[in-house]
Structure 1
Amino acid sequence: MAATDDAAFDEIDFEDDDDQDQPPATQRRPVSDIPAVIVDDVHVRYRVFGGRKRSVAPEMGRVRAMVNRSRKHVGAVTEVHAVQGVSFVAHHGESIGIIGRNGAGKSTLLRAVAGLMPTSSGAVYVSGTSSLLGVNAALMSSLTGERNVMIGGLALGLTPAQVRERFDDVVEFAGIGDFIDLPMKAYSSGMAARLRFAISTAAVPDVLMIDEALATGDAEFRDRSKKKIDEIKDHAGTVFLVSHSMNSIERMCERAIWIDKGKLIADGPASEIAAEYRKASKKKG
């Protein structure tokens, strides 16, 4: 399965003004002693291409400079060590928030757990099926929306009969109407993103991963997305939520993992870790 283009998504913030004084989430589901996810000393490194070499010296002449123009980016590589030796165990029934500043490695860690990004070293063990909401559905632009719903549903582990049974709900949730019969290349980026998100909600995995930055659409669709996420979350075995909103973490999770510069800073009760994070953020601010 391919990762989607994040540019097609708009960030959603589940933090509402009415939630400012809301107490932390209570344990709604029993937590099993059986591990659902084991992350063992995971490192993720990737390379970024595109840095410029030194410009051609003036004495080389205009013609030679033009010849070498296409080579300015060749060999310019930067290695990013996005996740550095992170280890933790998640159990069935847990809801875990992953917090940290932009660029801390939260989403990279989530993709590694989901199997969408290879680890450079260390290991990830997942019991059952896992899904990163909004990403697992890879769409094919030459096929119709209808065919993509079928293929996406099968990729999520549903049977053809189950996909047909949920087809109307997926189309209604995406809000694309008669466009479902047209090739995906006729869709706007927003329509494609909504359908991708809708397809990814057709199945309830054993381990559900939610990155708030993957929600998409206008206010009405974001509201439907939030309700759908809550519904799936209540049925999934283990839930991970990446969020910048501490209120969302405290409301939706019992446990929080704080990541900074790719390293695990703290792991514990959501209310305690959120309070520590707020304190640290104020000091840096």
Structure 2
Amino acid sequence: MPGQNAGQGSPGPDAGGRRPTVIAEDLHIVYRVNGAKTGKGSATAALSRIVGRGRERGVRTVHAVRGVSFTACRGEAIGLIGSNGSGKSTLLRAIAGLLPAERGKVYTDGQPSLLGVNAALMNDLTGERNVILGGLAMGMPREEIKERYEEIVGFSGINDKGDFITLPMRTYSSGMAARLRFSIAAAKDHDVLMIDEALATGDRGFQKRSEERIRELRKQAGTVFLVSHNNKSVRDTCDRVLWLERGELRMDGPTEEVLGEYEKFTGK
């Protein structure tokens, strides 16, 4: 099972006989941020020297993910919920191999695709060119992209109110760009597809199309991770939920069970 910090060999099926696609073992992710500059003689600088002895000068650490462990299997759609800054997006970036683990390991079976990374869009190019480039970036043959071009554009709804697909991406609203990213990414079957808030954009019709496409991806034996603050989208799409708070995995279980506890916690 290749992946970031992968160990020797490949883990076999889990206790239920399903094939794991992502395994996180005591995963810690730490950001290092350059601190604000202070004068040598200031009280703040003196305090920083006392408190921060042994640390890199001027560098502040943020422990974004703290000891998270879970196993995801083929055919699962997993929601990631939690307060802002709880580590959801950071966890997805670690699974995608974009962030190194401070401690612990991430194993992946197949190629993880983080929405908006594999289907990267370029602002100065038209939507049409971005569909082609995004498909090529995901490894789709050029002929397949041509065959599915109309389907991708239609799914996004970009042209519902004009011929926007022929305009540069910089003329799009953030919602239009997010819908096109999802449409490009969803045109390919993925081993592991990670979606960060894409279903929050667009009207209910687009959201329903997106939810149906996620269910189709699951049927193709893939695994889908969905970060969302919309509990209804999580309920409609996911059969399992991971709840993160302050970087820690607070709960992992069936959707209704976890969302019920989360809604008690948030009062919503």
**TM-score category, normalised to shorter length:** 0.7 to 0.9
What is the one-letter code of the residue matched to 1:129?
Q
- 1:218 is displaced (CA, Å) by 4.8
Measure the CA separation in 2 of the matches of 1:141 and 1:274.
37
Instruction: Find the counterpart in structure 2 of residue 279 from structure 1.
Output: 264
Give the number of equivalent residue pairs: 235
- 1:155 is displaced (CA, Å) by 1.3
Q: Is 2:138 the counterpart of 1:161? A: no
CA contact (8 A) 2:217 2:224 kept: no
- The change in CA–CA distance for 1:171 and 1:244 in structure 2 (over 3 A counts) is closer
Measure the CA separation in 1 of the matches of 2:128 and 2:214.
23
What is the one-letter code of the residue matched to 1:255?
R
RMSD of aligned Cα (Å): 3.1
If asked which structure has higher relative contact order (CA below 8 Å, sep 6+), I would say: 1
Matches within 5 A, 1:173-212: 173-177=155-159, 178-212=163-197
Instruction: Find the counterpart in structure 1 of residue 45 from structure 2.
Output: none
Instruction: Find the counterpart in structure 1 of residue 73 from structure 2.
Output: 91
- The change in CA–CA distance for 1:179 and 1:212 in structure 2 (over 3 A counts) is closer
Residue among 21, 25, 45 paired with 1:40: 25
- The change in CA–CA distance for 1:251 and 1:193 in structure 2 (over 3 A counts) is closer
Instruction: Find the counterpart in structure 1 of residue 129 from structure 2.
Output: 147
TM-score computed with the length of structure 2 as normaliser = 0.73
The SS at the match of 1:37 is strand
Report the identity percentage. 55
Measure the CA separation in 2 of the matches of 1:260 and 1:190.
27
In structure 2, runs of 5+ residues without a counterpart are: 1-15, 43-56
Deviates more, 1:204-213 or 1:43-52: 43-52
Deviating runs (4+, > 6 A) in structure 1?
none
CA contact (8 A) 1:99 1:258 kept: yes
- 1:147 is displaced (CA, Å) by 2.4
TM-score computed with the length of structure 1 as normaliser = 0.69
In structure 1, runs of 5+ residues without a counterpart are: 1-30, 58-74
- 1:38 is displaced (CA, Å) by 0.8
CA contact (8 A) 2:80 2:88 kept: yes
Measure the CA separation in 1 of the matches of 2:146 and 2:124.
21
What is the one-letter code of the residue matched to 2:84?
N
Matches within 5 A, 1:173-252: 173-177=155-159, 178-212=163-197, 215-218=200-203, 220-252=205-237
CA contact (8 A) 1:134 1:196 kept: yes
Residue among 225, 238, 247 paired with 1:253: 238
- 1:191 is displaced (CA, Å) by 3.7
CA contact (8 A) 1:133 1:210 kept: yes
What is the one-letter code of the residue matched to 1:81?
H
- 1:154 is displaced (CA, Å) by 1.3
The SS at the match of 1:141 is coil
